[in-house]
């Protein structure tokens, strides 16, 4: 059973007013359990509207034709709506702006409390969630979330979502506005979360390097339509599509392109820095061997003379 | 969804009415409202309705957008209508059952009252429908500028007004975002009694306040960095200029106002009664 199944999804903002705007157009998308899906697209391409359908924050406009099903639960079903929200963890952009309690522990406990769990279970979950995001419970639990650093606040906010132990975790630009170290920390945290808490991850990002490195599959949106759907290699090797969708290439691909143009013999489907350095190493080694062979040839000739 | 609130009632069509100077529109709206209170005859109401329809047509507004604003006060209209209908007891009795009496006088008063309210609200809503909040604030500032002579801080008031208007959509958007985020964590805002509901709003209100203060700080810095000083003489980027359209609009409404005054104070004294000319025996 796929974790997420979206069929014929359409959405129009401010219907029948001069401000009418089509945000989603016939979206069909399936996300398998255990998959890391990268969602990319320019600002206003419909990413946020799409992900808010996953836990019923935005209601379906055409219930007859379209459907959104997450782990067998329909997003239109009012009775299972709450359950659905606990099943789909949603980390919005700048989640630290949603902190409100006077201590970190209380804020992280907000979700589990709404799940009506008993007190011991809530405590255990808060402890574990803080631990997973790398904040020591004894050190942080009783502090005010407003006294923490930006990166720490964001971790608290993420802990608040994963304390509900969602099966599907949706992250909307989780590294926006962080410094390079903070970015790396959060990205490795996301990978860790996939292993330990939520097997299925849907991440929105504008950073193609992160996407190429982390995602199993990339879906690109443009003006509310899916314009690309495939592995990072498939998507980023289609240069025309990338340009049409208004997207960037990963830095590794751009470097590889330039190197190929200069005559370096490496494949053209490189999307990550790791692959690039591996291929460059290979190319370099083969050049050395060729050069060495050539050298050997020269010295043999010398001897003959 | 939030666009409805973000721009107030403003309905953009780029019509001649939209292009009128905001100051002129403000003054003419006042004149229109004043005129409505001088109306006593059905002819006056018919004339007003005609004027209103002409303006709506010129502004290329859907008639529903105007009626929508009436819907907001529908309760008051119906309530006052009922009170008037049953509590005016003088004049010829039309219906009587027990202590309930409806008189001819009461019916006339009620119809006129409803017309007055509906025309008043729809006329005033035209201003909001055809003028952006920022234009309105600028227009008000300009109209209030004589108050500077008596040391009223008109510029400050105008700046506060513009900033407040500017941040309504931002705040609204932010509120929606926070509500979405807390809902995603299982928050519920529409169940329980009033106290439970107020308490449920705390996870929204606290971040909203904190973010607003942060934003106010940032805005103050940004204004300071660009040497904002409310007391100095400041020039405008967009200077409103009166045009021919403004003159025509003024003549139109002033003419309407004059006819209403004539209808009330003059026509009858010289023996012209337009109401009975139109409706005859019906009244």
DSSP result, A123-173: HHHHHHHHHHTT--HHHHTTS-GGGS-HHHHHHHHHHHHHTT--SEEEEES
- Does B185 contact A at CB distance below 8 Å? yes
Predicted confidence band of residue B26 (pLDDT cuts 50, 70, 90)? very high
pLDDT for residue B5 = 43
Q: Do B183 and A86 touch (CB under 8 A)?
A: no
Assigned domain for A34 exists? yes
From the list A14, A99, A114, the residue facing B3 with the nearest CB is A14
Domain that holds residue A281: 260-300
- Does B137 contact A at CB distance below 8 Å? no
- Does B206 contact A at CB distance below 8 Å? yes
pLDDT for residue B281 = 66
Predicted confidence band of residue B207 (pLDDT cuts 50, 70, 90)? very high
Nearest CA in chain A to B65: A17
Tell me, yes or no, whether A17 and A38 share the same domain.
yes
- Does B233 contact A at CB distance below 8 Å? no
Q: Crossing angle, helix B154-184 and helix B133-144, to 10 degrees? A: 160
Classify residue A281 by burial, with Cβ atoms within 10 Å: 0-12, 13-18, 19+.
exposed
pLDDT of B241-269, one tens digit each?
A: 788 899 999 999 999 999 999 988 887 77
Mutation for testing the B interface, residue in A20, A98, A125 having most B CBs under 10 Å: A98
**Nearest to residue A178, comparing CAs of A150, A206, A148?**
A150
**Nearest to residue A91, comparing CAs of A79, A102, A99, A101?**
A99
Assigned domain for B148 exists? no
CB A166 within 8 A of CB A89: yes
Tell me, yes or no, whether B98 and B50 share the same domain.
yes
Q: How far apart are CA A4 and CA A69, in angstroms?
A: 6
Q: How far apart are CA B181 and CA B61, in angstroms?
A: 37
**Nearest to residue A113, comparing CAs of A45, A44, A160?**
A160
Tell me, yes or no, whether B42 and B87 share the same domain.
yes
**Which residues does chain B have within 8 Å of residue A49's beta carbon, measured at their own beta carbons?**
none
Stretch B156-169: mean pLDDT:
83
Tell me, yes or no, whether B72 and B174 share the same domain.
no
Mutation for testing the B interface, residue in A57, A81, A93, A100 having most B CBs under 10 Å: A100
**Which residues does chain A have within 8 Å of residue B177's beta carbon, measured at their own beta carbons?**
92, 98
CB A147 within 8 A of CB A101: no
Burial A121-148 (b: 16+ CB within 10 A, else e): ebbebbbbbbebbebebeebbebebeeb
Number of domains in chain B: 2
How many cross-chain Cβ pairs, A to B, lie less than 8 Å apart? 68
Sort strands A225-230 and A217-222 into parallel, antiparallel or unpaired.
antiparallel
Nearest CA in chain A to B205: A100
Query: Cβ neighbours of residue A219 under 8 Å, at least 6 residues apart?
Result: A29, A37, A38, A39, A40, A226, A228, A229
Mean pLDDT, all residues of chain B: 85
Beta bridge partners of A40: A220
From the list A14, A17, A57, the residue facing B184 with the nearest CB is A57
Q: Do A160 and B185 touch (CB under 8 A)?
A: yes
**Which residues does chain B have within 8 Å of residue A109's beta carbon, measured at their own beta carbons?**
none
Q: Do B181 and A90 touch (CB under 8 A)?
A: yes
Tell me, yes or no, whether B116 and B18 share the same domain.
yes
Assigned domain for B125 exists? yes
Tell me, yes or no, whether B77 and B136 share the same domain.
yes
Predicted confidence band of residue A302 (pLDDT cuts 50, 70, 90)? low
Stretch A47-75: mean pLDDT:
90
Tell me, yes or no, whether B90 and B131 share the same domain.
yes
Assigned domain for B221 exists? yes
Stretch B188-217: mean pLDDT:
88
Distance from CA of A161 to the nearest CA of B (A): 7
Sort strands A73-74 and A67-70 into parallel, antiparallel or unpaired.
antiparallel
Number of domains in chain A: 2
Tell me, yes or no, whether B105 and B189 share the same domain.
no
Q: How far, CA to CA in Å, does B197 sit from each of B125, B191, B192?
A: 33, 7, 6
Tell me, yes or no, whether A5 and A38 share the same domain.
yes
pLDDT of A12-27, one tens digit each?
A: 988 877 778 889 999 9
pLDDT for residue B1 = 36
- Model confidence at A304: pLDDT above 60: no
Assigned domain for A99 exists? no
Which ranges of A163-250 would DSSP assign to H, the alpha helix? 180-196, 208-214, 232-237, 239-244
Stretch A72-92: mean pLDDT:
89
Neighbouring C-beta atoms of residue A18, cutoff 10 Å: 13
Tell me, yes or no, whether A237 and A281 share the same domain.
no
**Which residues does chain B have within 8 Å of residue A126's beta carbon, measured at their own beta carbons?**
none
Tell me, yes or no, whether A235 and A267 share the same domain.
no
Domain boundary, last residue among A248, A272, A288: A248
Tell me, yes or no, whether A273 and A240 share the same domain.
no
**Which residues does chain B have within 8 Å of residue A110's beta carbon, measured at their own beta carbons?**
182, 185-187, 203
**Which residues does chain B have within 8 Å of residue A162's beta carbon, measured at their own beta carbons?**
none
pLDDT for residue A300 = 55
* Residue A41, domain CATH: 3.40.50.300
Stretch A76-100: mean pLDDT:
90
Stretch B188-200: mean pLDDT:
83
For the ranges A34-48, A123-137, B24-38, B135-149, which has the lowest average pLDDT?
B135-149
Assigned domain for A283 exists? yes
Assigned domain for B234 exists? no
Most confident of A162-166, A234-238, B17-21, B93-97: A162-166
Assigned domain for A240 exists? yes
Q: In chain A, pLDDT over 70 holds for what percent of residues?
A: 97
pLDDT of B34-84, one tens digit each?
A: 999 999 888 899 999 999 999 999 999 888 888 888 887 888 899 999 888
Predicted confidence band of residue B231 (pLDDT cuts 50, 70, 90)? low
- Model confidence at B278: pLDDT above 50: yes
For the ranges B186-195, B212-221, B246-255, which has the lowest average pLDDT?
B186-195
Q: Could you tell me the maximum CA-CA distance found in chain B, to the nearest angstrom? A: 75
CB B181 within 8 A of CB A90: yes
Q: Do A19 and B3 touch (CB under 8 A)?
A: yes
Tell me, yes or no, whether A75 and A1 share the same domain.
yes
Nearest CA in chain B to A107: B203
Return the DSSP state at B267: G
Higher pLDDT, B9 or A164: A164
pLDDT for residue B7 = 45
Nearest CA in chain B to A161: B185
Tell me, yes or no, whether A6 and A49 share the same domain.
yes
pLDDT for residue B4 = 44
pLDDT for residue B63 = 86
Tell me, yes or no, whether B123 and B25 share the same domain.
yes
pLDDT for residue B3 = 42
Stretch B134-151: mean pLDDT:
86
pLDDT for residue B282 = 67
Stretch A61-71: mean pLDDT:
89
Nearest CA in chain B to A82: B186
Mean pLDDT, all residues of chain A: 90
Assigned domain for B120 exists? yes
Q: In chain B, pLDDT over 70 holds for what percent of residues?
A: 95
Q: How far apart are CA B9 and CA A235, in angstroms?
A: 44
Complex prediction ipTM: 0.85
Query: Cβ neighbours of residue A244 under 8 Å, at least 6 residues apart?
Result: A222, A227
Collapsing DSSP to helix, strand or coil, A89 comes out as strand
Mutation for testing the A interface, residue in B64, B65, B186 having most A CBs under 10 Å: B186
Tell me, yes or no, whether B40 and B134 share the same domain.
yes
- Does B117 contact A at CB distance below 8 Å? no
Assigned domain for A74 exists? yes
Assigned domain for A32 exists? yes
Domain that holds residue B163: 154-225
Distance from CA of A217 to the nearest CA of B (A): 25
Assigned domain for B230 exists? no
Assigned domain for A27 exists? yes
Chain A contact residues (CB < 8 Å to B): 13-14, 17-19, 52, 55, 57, 82, 85-86, 88-90, 92, 95, 97-100, 110-111, 114-115, 146, 160-161, 164
Tell me, yes or no, whether B114 and B204 share the same domain.
no
pLDDT for residue A78 = 82
Stretch B97-123: mean pLDDT:
88
Tell me, yes or no, whether A236 and A293 share the same domain.
no
From the list B4, B188, B206, the residue facing A100 with the nearest CB is B206
Tell me, yes or no, whether B199 and B249 share the same domain.
no
Assigned domain for B102 exists? yes
Predicted confidence band of residue A38 (pLDDT cuts 50, 70, 90)? very high
Beta bridge partners of A36: A201
Tell me, yes or no, whether B85 and B195 share the same domain.
no
- Does B130 contact A at CB distance below 8 Å? no
What strands, in cross-sheet order, belong to the sheet with A200-204? A88-91, A168-172, A200-204, A36-41, A217-222, A225-230
Each as own residue / partner, the long-range contacts of residues B163-168 (CB below 8 Å, 24 or more positions apart, any chain) are: B163/B219, B165/B133, B165/B134, B165/B137, B166/B134, B167/B215, B168/B5, B168/B6, B168/B133
- Model confidence at A250: pLDDT above 50: yes
CB B224 within 8 A of CB B217: no
């Amino acid at each position: 059973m796929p974790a997420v199944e979206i069929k014929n999804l359409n959405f129009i903002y401010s219907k029948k007013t001069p401000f009418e705007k089509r945000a989603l157009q016939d979206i069909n998308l399936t996300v398998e359990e255990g998959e890391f899906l990268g969602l990319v697209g320019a600002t206003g391409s419909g990413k946020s509207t799409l992900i808010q359908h996953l836990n019923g924050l935005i209601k379906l406009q055409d219930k007859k034709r379209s459907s959104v099903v997450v782990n067998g639960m329909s997003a239109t079903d009012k009775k299972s709506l709450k359950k659905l929200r606990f099943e789909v963890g949603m980390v919005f952009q700048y989640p630290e702006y949603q902190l409100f309690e006077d201590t970190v522990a209380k804020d992280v406990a907000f979700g589990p409390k709404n799940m009506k769990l008993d007190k011991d279970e809530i405590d255990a979950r808060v402890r574990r969630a803080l631990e997973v995001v790398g904040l020591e419970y004894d050190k942080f639990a009783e502090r005010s979330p407003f006294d923490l650093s930006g990166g720490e606040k964001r971790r608290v906010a993420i802990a608040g979502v994963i304390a509900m132990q969602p099966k599907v975790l949706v992250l909307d630009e989780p590294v926006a506005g962080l410094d390079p170290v903070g970015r790396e920390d959060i990205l490795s945290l996301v990978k860790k979360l996939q292993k330990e808490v939520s097997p299925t991850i849907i991440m929105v990002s504008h950073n193609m390097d992160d996407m190429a490195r982390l995602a199993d599959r990339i879906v690109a949106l443009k003006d509310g339509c899916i314009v690309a759907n495939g592995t990072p290699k498939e998507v980023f090797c289609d240069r025309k599509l990338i340009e049409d969708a208004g997207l960037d290439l990963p830095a590794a691909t751009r470097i590889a392109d330039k190197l190929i143009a200069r005559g370096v013999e490496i494949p053209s489907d490189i999307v990550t820095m790791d692959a690039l350095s591996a291929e460059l190493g290979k190319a370099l080694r083969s050049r050395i061997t060729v050069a060495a062979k050539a050298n050997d040839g020269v010295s043999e000739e010398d001897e003959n003379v | 969804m939030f666009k409805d609130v973000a721009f107030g009632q403003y309905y953009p069509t780029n019509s001649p009415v939209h292009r009128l100077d905001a100051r002129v529109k403000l003054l003419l709206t006042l004149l229109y409202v004043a005129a409505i209170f001088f109306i006593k005859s059905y002819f006056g109401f018919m004339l007003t309705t005609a004027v209103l329809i002409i303006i709506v047509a010129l502004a290329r507004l859907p008639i529903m957008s105007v009626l929508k604003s009436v819907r907001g006060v529908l309760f008051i209209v119906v309530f006052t209508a009922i009170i008037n209908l049953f509590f005016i007891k003088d004049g010829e009795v039309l219906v009587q059952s027990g202590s309930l009496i409806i008189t001819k006088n009461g019916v006339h008063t009620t119809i006129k009252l409803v017309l007055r309210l509906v025309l008043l609200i729809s006329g005033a809503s035209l201003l909001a429908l055809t003028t952006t909040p920022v234009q309105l604030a600028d227009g008000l500032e300009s109209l209030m500028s004589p108050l500077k002579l008596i040391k009223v801080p008109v510029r400050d008031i105008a700046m506060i007004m513009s900033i407040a208007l500017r941040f309504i959509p931002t705040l609204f958007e932010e509120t929606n975002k926070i509500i979405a985020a807390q809902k995603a964590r299982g928050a519920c805002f529409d169940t329980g009694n009033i106290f439970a509901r107020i308490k449920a709003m705390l996870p929204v209100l606290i971040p909203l306040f904190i973010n607003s203060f942060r934003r106010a700080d940032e805005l103050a810095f940004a204004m300071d960095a660009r040497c904002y000083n409310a007391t100095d003489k400041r020039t405008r980027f967009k200077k409103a200029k009166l045009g021919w359209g403004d003159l025509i609009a003024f003549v139109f409404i002033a003419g309407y106002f004059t006819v209403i005054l004539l209808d009330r104070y003059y026509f009858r004294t010289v023996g012209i009664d337009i109401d009975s000319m139109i409706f005859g025996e019906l009244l």
